[in-house]
Amino acid sequence: MIAPSDRSNSATDQRAAGMAPRFGDDAAPGYRAEATLSIGLEIRRQLSRRRTKLMLGLMVVLPVVLYLAFQFGPADEGENADEALRGLVDLATSSAANFAVFTLLMSASFLLVLVVALFCGDTVASEASWGSLRYLLAIPVPRGRLLTVKLTVGLLYSAVALVLLTGTALVVGVLAFGWEPLRAPVGGESPPGEGLVRVIAAAGYIAVALLPVASVAFFLSVSTDAPLGAVGGAILFQIVSAILEAITALGSLRSLLPTYYTDAWFGLLSDPIRIEDMLRGGISALVYSTIFLMLAWWRFPRKDVVS
């Protein structure tokens, strides 16, 4: 029989080693694993960080910067100007919905990837780099709960960033260009109300398409003590996928890449709306995110946390 003092020392040794202790008779009276590290507390902790305020502020500032570029930038660059780019800019300034679509188009390929990678990749690795992860687990916060809370808050702030970007673009667009129909490059116009629904649907699809980035960043975050390594690794994953997608020699194999259906939301700008690629892209994103999140949940309980 193990004496109570021996059980206490065993749990203490496990916490000191950064291992997740098993709580049975060792648990203090009133201890509830689900009450540790609440989501509300983690939201406040992350909001107090400078990078969170900077990223959310950038989502508000970017549409304003784009509007100022339209207003004060050169109106005409002469006969050698890029006609396609000029037409895209002219379309962007035709209505609030078009301005929001243009903002999403300019942001989805890199800026939103960076934001999602930062919120989901910095979350666990930063605790390790500060030396606080070991103490969080020694409170004790069960490892599964820590991952759940960290991932939930990371995805929440990623969604807030996307909502801020889209909402600000719509507000700036209404004030600058009016509440006019959504004009699509192909398919004519959509009434303002329908155009708003299409913009919201486009933002929703972009959020789903970014789930692989979030899951890769989170997996790397639980695998390394370097936040920049986790964030950079997720961005590199997206870049490599985009490069492979551009290699036409790969043929139909490109459809297996996580970035292949990234721009499928363009189908919302046509009449009639085409959602087939959006459905395929959504399934692809869910499969990739499930795989990497399962790897994260498999890896972290087996990791020896020493920092």
Taking only the tens place, the pLDDT of each residue in 151-200 is: 999 999 999 999 999 999 999 999 999 999 988 876 678 898 999 999 99
As a whole number, the mean pLDDT across the chain is: 84
Domain ranges of the chain: 39-302
Residue 152 amino acid letter = T
Q: Output the pLDDT for position 254.
A: 93
Q: Which structure tokens are listed for 94? A: 């035709």
Rounded Cα–Cα distance for residues 23 and 64 (Å): 53
Output 171 or 271, whichever has higher pLDDT: 171
Q: Is 131 left (phi over 0), alpha (psi -120 to 50) or beta?
A: left
* Whether the Cβ atoms of residue 237 and residue 174 lie closer than 8 Å to each other: no
Chain segment 94-137, per-residue pLDDT in tens: 899 999 999 999 999 899 999 999 999 998 888 888 877 777 77
* Predicted pLDDT at 231: 95
Distance, CA of 117 to CA of 226 (rounded, Å): 13
| Residue closest to 260 by CA, chosen among 251, 268, 269 | 251
